[in-house]
Amino acid sequence: MPDHANAEAVDALFRNDAFVVDIRRQMLRFATLQLGNADLAEDAVQEALIGAMKNARSFARRAAFKTWVFAILKHKIADQLRARQRLVPVHRLLDDEQASDDEIMDSLFKRGGPWRREQRPQHWREPDEAMQDQHFWETFESCLEHLPGRQARAFMMREFVGLETAEICRELSITVTNLNVTLHRARLRLRECLENHWFAGDRRS
């Protein structure tokens, strides 16, 4: 792969576009905060942008592209932190990711598997109407942003980019079972978030 040529092309494209310049600045701020190192942050942002550009055509909406590129960035940062886990105290991002992976099932289901009463799916009012509403899409975006990095990335690869499970497993270096678990949890979380913040409320919150 001509990585350098690719990087330059992406770089040139991004410098010409106020939208991406803005995204890049936000990504750098986020990555620097998480990694505590400007050089590593720069690398992670660059890699995430290049990774995101591979599937850029899957995104007609800019908000969707932004969510996508941040999902990749979080994934890169988690990889970085994992790699130097023995050198520094375990980082908050990684803690959160693992904890939330384990906790979501316990928070939704009782021991043995039935829904907790207060977590049972409710009737969703008028999804078609929601899709016409800009406020709904802001809610949707914010629910996606609150997914743990790996879940967000797997979900978006599957549902935004439309990749098959085998491709996603290759890309993320995980087993099919692992992907199934990850997608299941991502969908449970998104469903819950959308219901709580939109579909079940009397009024939008």
Partner 1 sequence: MMSCSKATRLISEGQDRDLTATERARLSLHTMMCRSCRRFESQMNVLRTLARTFAGTDQGADGNDPEDADRP
Residues that bind partner 1 (CB under 8 A): 18-19, 58-64, 105, 108-109, 112-115, 120-124, 127, 131, 137, 140-141, 144, 155-156, 158-162, 165, 179-181, 183-184, 187-188, 190-191, 194-195
Dist. CA 154–CA 133, nearest whole Å: 26
In the complex, the smallest distance separating the C-beta of residue 35 from partner 1, rounded to whole angstroms, is 28
In the complex, the smallest distance separating the C-beta of residue 148 from partner 1, rounded to whole angstroms, is 16
Q: Which is nearer to partner 1, 93 or 156 (CB)?
A: 156
In the complex, the smallest distance separating the C-beta of residue 17 from partner 1, rounded to whole angstroms, is 9
Of 88, 55, 58, nearest in space to 72 by CA: 55
Dist. CA 188–CA 109, nearest whole Å: 11
User: Dihedral of the CA atoms 84, 25, 55, 130 (nearest 10)?
Assistant: 110
Q: Which is nearer to partner 1, 70 or 160 (CB)?
A: 160
Phi, psi angle pair for 86, to nearest 5°: -80, -15
Q: Which is nearer to partner 1, 43 or 137 (CB)?
A: 137
In the complex, the smallest distance separating the C-beta of residue 122 from partner 1, rounded to whole angstroms, is 7
Q: Are 49 and 3 in contact (CB under 8 A)?
A: no
